[in-house]
């Protein structure tokens, strides 16, 4: 039985729309779209068979199974022809147990899903491989796509630029000037994208790119395009697979534009529908206090109002009017969801505490860790709960944040775990004195 996927309105408007046309919102009501699959066709293959199939494919070197996304192609984009796959072996990233950190916060079974180990250093690769592959097939079938465009706080632009370069498709990325790290800025520049740095924030960039996408031949690559969600949903499938098809108790993820939240839910929902799992985890979304519209909605019976996002160290989630908020709220309502926030000091200290246990976390992961620490301190997370924290990006992209923290140069942050370098003369006795205090504590 052939497998197929299509767009459908999340508000329930009748009818389906082909995923092979450039459309991002319901033509009837203007609501967001979601990708739906022929679940009856997928059910014809039993749960045990799907598990065996995915386990046999997982992380093989050969294309497409080196990809954590395309090794699950039937659940993602089954009608994509293999010659149009644009993949960098994204996904299949480490799920790392962080025992020392867990003991420090009073939760014994904490794991970090290290999405920053993907090709461009963030989880955005999971969705971009799907979107760019679909665009490549559309172009091959005669569609007029002049460029693929996105607004970004850094990681989306890096991912789009890399995959578009591999496919030979022009990419346009629109960034808020001065609000992305040098490492994030240089990625799309190196991959040949047209980079436009605007005097605005992410929300302003998003307004511009949505207008551009209304023009003929410009294809939208932001997460309001549901094809991105299809790739990102494999994150939850991969976590369960890495646990031997067992579901964790709690998943904590930082939230900005909020496409990642509905993606998590979509993966768990499909596994439930097909009988691979029998329960849902609880989902926690962590926001920076400086950009916390979802947290405010959660505290106000889910009544959402956009905010003017203030400057935050967690620059990738400095978003006051997330385009995927409706999908995120629907997901959290199904998953007994919690939304927590973290101040600049809380997120910086949480990142540093985790680093002291061997990690090297980005500030957005610091937001998620800070949220977990607050839940643990309140008793909202049991000591023996199995918790997965989604680390969305590679800490190496944010080296300036690390240096500023450890040298006391982060504004309004009194760094509790600072570890500044010790400057000494070229003198052996001075070196011995400096290290005596360190080695005595570890004798």
Q: For residue range 202-248, what is the model confidence (pLDDT) as tens digits?
A: 999 999 999 999 888 999 999 889 999 999 999 999 999 999 999 99
Whole-angstrom distance, CA of residue 22 vs CA of residue 328: 23
Residue 131 domain-assigned?
Answer: no
Instruction: Say if residues 294 and 304 touch (Cβ distance below 8 Å).
Output: yes
288: CATH: 3.40.50.1100
Which residue range is the domain that position 296 belongs to?
A: 95-121+229-406
Per-residue burial over 213-238, b = 16 or more CB atoms within 10 Å of its CB, e = otherwise: beeeebbbbbbbbbbbbbbbbbbbbb
Residue 262 domain-assigned?
Answer: yes
Identify any residues that bridge with 233 across adjacent strands, giving them in sequence order.
Answer: none
Q: What is the mean pLDDT of residues 286-305?
A: 98
Whole-angstrom distance, CA of residue 59 vs CA of residue 386: 24
User: Looking at the 3D structure of the chain, how many domains does it have?
Assistant: 1
Residue 359 domain-assigned?
Answer: yes
Whole-angstrom distance, CA of residue 165 vs CA of residue 293: 35
Pick from 433, 293, 271, 287: nearest CA to 364? 287
Residue 233 domain-assigned?
Answer: yes
Q: Which residue has the tokens 């010790």?
A: 422
Residue 146 domain-assigned?
Answer: no
Residue 436 domain-assigned?
Answer: no
Pick from 407, 333, 341, 416: nearest CA to 373? 341
Contacts (Cβ under 8 Å, ≥6 apart) of 17: 6, 7, 8, 23, 27, 33
What is residue 1's predicted lDDT score, i.e. its pLDDT?
59
Output DSSP code: residue 362: -
Q: Considering the chain, what is the average pLDDT of its residues?
A: 95
Residue 74 domain-assigned?
Answer: no
Residue 59 has pLDDT above 50, yes or no: yes
Q: Residues 284, 285, 288, 293: is their CA dihedral positive or negative? A: negative
Residue 41 domain-assigned?
Answer: no
pLDDT digits (tens, 9 = 90+) for 132-156: 999 999 999 999 999 999 999 889 9
Residue 443 has pLDDT above 50, yes or no: no
Whole-angstrom distance, CA of residue 381 vs CA of residue 386: 9
- The number of helices, as runs of H, and strands, as runs of E, in the chain is 16, 12
């Amino acid at each position: 039985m052939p497998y197929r996927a299509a767009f459908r309105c999340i508000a329930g408007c009748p009818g389906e729309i082909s995923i092979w046309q450039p459309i991002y919102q319901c033509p009837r009501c203007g609501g967001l779209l979601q990708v739906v699959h022929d679940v009856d066709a997928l059910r014809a293959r039993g749960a045990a068979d799907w598990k065996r199939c995915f386990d046999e494919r997982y992380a093989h070197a050969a294309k497409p199974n080196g990809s954590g996304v395309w090794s699950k192609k039937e659940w993602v984009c089954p009608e994509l022809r293999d010659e149009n796959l644009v993949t960098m072996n994204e996904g299949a990233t480490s799920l790392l147990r962080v025992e020392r950190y867990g003991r420090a916060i009073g939760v014994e079974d904490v794991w970090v899903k290290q999405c920053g180990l993907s090709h461009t250093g963030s989880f955005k690769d999971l969705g971009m491989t799907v979107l760019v592959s679909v665009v490549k097939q559309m172009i091959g079938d005669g569609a007029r796509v002049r460029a693929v465009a996105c607004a970004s706080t850094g990681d989306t632009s890096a991912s789009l630029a890399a995959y578009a370069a591999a496919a030979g498709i022009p990419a346009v990325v629109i960034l808020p000037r001065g609000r992305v790290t040098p490492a994030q800025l240089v990625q799309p520049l190196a991959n040949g994208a047209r980079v436009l740095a605007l005097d605005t924030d992410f929300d302003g960039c998003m307004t511009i790119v949505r207008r551009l996408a209304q023009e003929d031949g410009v294809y939208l690559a932001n997460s309001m395009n549901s094809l991105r969600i299809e790739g990102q949903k494999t994150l939850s499938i991969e976590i369960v697979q890495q646990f031997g098809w067992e579901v964790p108790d709690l998943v904590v993820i930082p939230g900005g534009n909020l496409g990642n939240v509905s993606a998590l839910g979509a993966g768990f929902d499909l596994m439930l529908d097909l009988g691979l799992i029998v329960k849902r985890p609880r989902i926690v979304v962590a926001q920076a206090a400086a950009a916390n519209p979802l947290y405010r909605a959660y505290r106000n019976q889910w009544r959402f109002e956009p905010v003017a996002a203030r400057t935050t160290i967690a620059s990738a989630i400095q978003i006051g009017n997330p385009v995927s908020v409706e999908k995120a709220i629907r997901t959290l309502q199904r998953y007994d969801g919690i939304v927590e926030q973290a101040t600049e000091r809380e997120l910086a200290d949480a990142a540093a505490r985790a680093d002291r246990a061997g990690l090297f976390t980005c500030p957005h992961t610091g937001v998620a860790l800070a949220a977990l620490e607050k839940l643990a301190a309140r008793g909202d997370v049991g000591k023996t709960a199995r918790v997965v924290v989604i680390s969305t990006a590679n800490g190496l992209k944010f080296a300036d944040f690390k240096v500023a923290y450890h040298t006391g140069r982060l504004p309004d942050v009194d760094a509790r775990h600072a570890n500044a370098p010790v400057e000494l003369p070229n003198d052996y006795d001075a070196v011995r004195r400096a290290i005596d205090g360190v080695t005595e504590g570890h004798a």
